[in-house]
Amino acid sequence: MISKIGVLTSGGDAPGMNAAIRGVTRYAIEKGLAVEGIIRGYEGLLRHETITLDRRTVGGIIHRGGTILRTARCLEFMEKDVQKEAADYLRSLEIDALVVIGGDGSMRGAQALSHCGIPTMVIPGTIDNDMMGTQYTIGFDTTVNTVLESINKIRDTASSHERVAVIEVMGRNAGFIALYAGMASGAEAVLVPEHEVNLPRLCEHLAESHRIGKLSSIVVVAEGAAKGTDVVDYIKEHTYLEPNLTVLGYVQRGGAPSALDATMAGLYAQKAIDSLLAGTYNCVIGLIGRRIAATPYSEAPHFHFPISDNMYQLVHMLGR
């Protein structure tokens, strides 16, 4: 029987995390549960930093980026004795289950606590959209729209000066941000970790587009596919075109969540609490098809959703 839950955010921040904290807190209270917030993620468990959450504590945050619980990366938490210490602290607070909002690393931390006897539930919150057990992670839509807005502004200058604009975006292991932003902006090409980077072919593609009358081009590069500086240098050395580089950086993490991210945060929160109350735990909440599901950690690797090869090809077909 669960009467009190904990909630924390961990890893990189993502737009919509506050909406998820709000959803978890208010829905849990609606169901008769007490809620304790852990400050600074797993590090906060070790430093004993917590705050009691109520309806008013999470008021006025649904539209705010970042996370009011703050977040941190905690390498110490990889050690088993540290994990046991954290589990013991949760028990001392009489916390019956923990809701973790974050990405893959956060899910590994939740799994570790589950092995120590703490029921856990993960709400996927990462801008990269690359977690197992879900087709959608909170923060992705907002980030794509942030990138799209930036690309549209950069395009104005690229067109005015007849240049190639190379735009480096986040995505160390997955190219979702680059692919979707590239598709939505009409980019000439996207470079993603999932596909081999062929710079000679890229230069041929750009040169051919220029020959048929295209005066400027957009190339979106995921950071895990290539360094933007290397792409710019190669284009300069092997074509007559004038490329320049914009690295968008941390602007991609900030800002108010989109309607989709704020909505999904609430729906994921509801599923997490309902699952815990039904006796289902040690799962990742996620969108699978048209259904929000709670998938056990052990089964999550079977639900891996890569980028669309069709969309990757289509970007390059439509970009000329």
Model confidence over 79-105: pLDDT tens digits?
Answer: 999 999 999 999 999 999 999 999 999
- Residue 251: C-alpha distances to residues 2, 148, 171 (Å): 39, 12, 14
At 180, list the tokens.
């979707």
Residue 61: CATH number of its domain:
3.40.50.450
Model confidence over 235-269: pLDDT tens digits?
Answer: 999 999 999 999 999 999 999 999 999 999 999 99
Catalytic, out of 128, 130, 141, 261 = 128
Pair 222, 79 in one domain? no
Pair 93, 173 in one domain? no
Give Dmax over CA atoms of the chain in angstroms: 70
Q: Could you give the CA distance from residue 275 to residue 267 in angstroms, rounded to a whole number? A: 12
Do the annotations mark residue 90 as ligand-binding? no
Do the annotations mark residue 22 as ligand-binding? yes
Tracing tokens 């969540």 back to the chain, one arrives at 257
Residue 199: CATH number of its domain:
3.40.50.460
Do the annotations mark residue 73 as ligand-binding? yes
Pair 208, 152 in one domain? yes
* pTM summary value: 0.95
pLDDT of 264: 98
Pair 286, 264 in one domain? yes
Do the annotations mark residue 291 as ligand-binding? no
Q: Indicate whether 225 belongs to any domain.
A: yes
Do the annotations mark residue 162 as ligand-binding? no
Model confidence over 142-172: pLDDT tens digits?
Answer: 999 999 999 999 998 887 777 899 999 999 9
Do the annotations mark residue 106 as ligand-binding? yes
- The angle that helices 309-318 and 176-185 make with each other, rounded to 10 degrees, is 30
Pair 9, 135 in one domain? yes
128 is catalytic: yes
Count of domains for the chain:
2
Measured torsion, CA atoms of residues 276, 279, 284, 287, in degrees rounded to the nearest 10: -80
Whether 217 and 165 have beta carbons less than 8 Å apart is answered as yes
Pair 113, 261 in one domain? yes
Q: Indicate whether 269 belongs to any domain.
A: yes
pLDDT of 157: 86
pLDDT of 252: 96
